[in-house]
């Protein structure tokens, strides 16, 4: 008969190297609390660790589970050439994350509602290894952005080119977006998954674009409010009397200062 034994907080303070949800790359994480379940029956044994972790860099709290059993093993040769067997470990991190991608952490709330929703669903799909859905999401982000920016054209191809005409996109960035458009096409119509590296790069390109079009202008508007008070407008300048001969205006509304003598 199977039996499970629970060991609570046996690894508190232990350090692990795992991918952080905020820092780019793996960082040292400390076990804050944990539970370890160990069990066996006549055929096999198993073990699962559940841990609350804290990144020692950014202090973010997240969750990890690591499961293994005697039926799922890996083999390797040690330094003496002897074949060794170890249990393979299935690790899961929550919130899910992938190496090298952190997304728009502090600016995503500045995106328009529809764009924010599809962006969050797509990044969740990316970090959960759902490659077909991520490809479809990449195309949906592009289509939503074009619609929001009132891009003209019957197809996504034409709309991306129209954003170049509008000055929203540079030609170089548009060329990359055309590649993402093709990528989303394959995912949507052929149910063709793309590799995680392609999808990660596609999302990084979209992150830069969303930052440039929405997030940076919104932050700048907040940090640098428009100057209030009276300003000199074009009609006022036009209404100023003409400068006397031999003078030059240095700053409206000063009427003019004498020109330096010519040598």
Span of 17-25, 97-105, 118-126, 204-212 interacting with Zn ion by CB under 5 A: 17-25
- Least Å distance, CB 12 to Zn ion, is 19
Closest CA to 31 of 67, 7, 62, 5: 62
Among 10, 14, 33, 57, binds Zn ion (CB under 5 A): 57
Span of 57-65, 146-154, 198-206, 228-236 interacting with Zn ion by CB under 5 A: 57-65
> How many residues bind to Zn ion according to rule CB under 5 A?
7
Cα separations in angstroms, 104 against 122, 158, 161: 12, 27, 25
Alpha helix (H) residue ranges in the chain: 113-127, 131-148, 156-166, 171-190, 196-210, 216-223, 234-239
Binding pattern for the stretch 130-169 against Zn ion, x by CB under 5 A and - elsewhere: ----------------------------------------
Q: Does 53 bind Zn ion (CB under 5 A)?
A: no
Q: Which residues of 108-123 are buried (b: 16+ CB within 10 A; e: fewer)?
A: bebbeeebbebbebbb
3-class SS at 176?
Answer: helix
Q: Which is nearer to Zn ion, 59 or 222 (CB)?
A: 59
Among 2, 12, 24, 58, binds Zn ion (CB under 5 A): 58
Q: Which is nearer to Zn ion, 57 or 255 (CB)?
A: 57
Q: Does 20 bind Zn ion (CB under 5 A)?
A: yes
Q: Does 55 bind Zn ion (CB under 5 A)?
A: yes
**What is the token pair recorded at 111?**
């995106």
Q: Does 30 bind Zn ion (CB under 5 A)?
A: no
Q: Does 102 bind Zn ion (CB under 5 A)?
A: no
Closest CA to 53 of 21, 25, 24: 21
Tell me the Ramachandran region of residue 14: left when phi exceeds 0, alpha when psi lies from -120 to 50, beta otherwise: beta
Q: Which is nearer to Zn ion, 27 or 69 (CB)?
A: 27
Contacts with Zn ion, residue ranges (CB under 5 A): 20, 22-23, 27, 55, 57-58
């Amino acid at each position: 008969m199977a039996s499970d034994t629970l060991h609570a907080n046996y690894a508190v303070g232990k350090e692990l190297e795992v991918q952080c949800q905020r820092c780019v790359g793996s960082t040292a994480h400390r076990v804050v609390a944990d539970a370890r379940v160990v069990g066996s029956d006549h055929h096999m044994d198993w073990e699962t660790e559940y841990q609350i972790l804290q990144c020692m860099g950014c202090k973010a709290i997240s969750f990890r589970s690591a499961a293994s059993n005697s039926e799922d093993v890996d083999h390797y040769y040690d330094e003496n050439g002897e074949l060794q067997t170890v249990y393979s470990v299935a690790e899961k991190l929550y919130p899910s994350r992938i190496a090298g991608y952190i997304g728009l952490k502090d600016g995503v709330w500045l995106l328009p509602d529809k764009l924010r929703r599809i962006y969050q669903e797509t990044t969740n799909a990316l970090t959960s290894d759902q490659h077909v859905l991520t490809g479809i999401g990449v195309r949906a982000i592009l289509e939503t952005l074009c619609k929001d920016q009132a891009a003209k054209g019957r197809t996504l191809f034409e709309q991306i080119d129209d954003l170049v005409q509008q000055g929203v996109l540079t030609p170089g960035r548009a060329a990359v977006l055309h590649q993402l458009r093709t990528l989303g096409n394959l995912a949507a119509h052929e149910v063709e998954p793309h590799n995680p590296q392609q999808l990660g790069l596609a999302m990084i390109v979209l992150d830069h674009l969303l930052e440039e079009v929405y997030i940076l202008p919104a932050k700048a508007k907040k940090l640098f409010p428009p100057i209030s008070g009276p300003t000199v407008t074009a009609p006022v300048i036009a209404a100023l009397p003409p400068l006397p001969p031999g003078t030059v205006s240095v700053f409206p509304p000063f009427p003019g200062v004498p020109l330096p003598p010519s040598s």
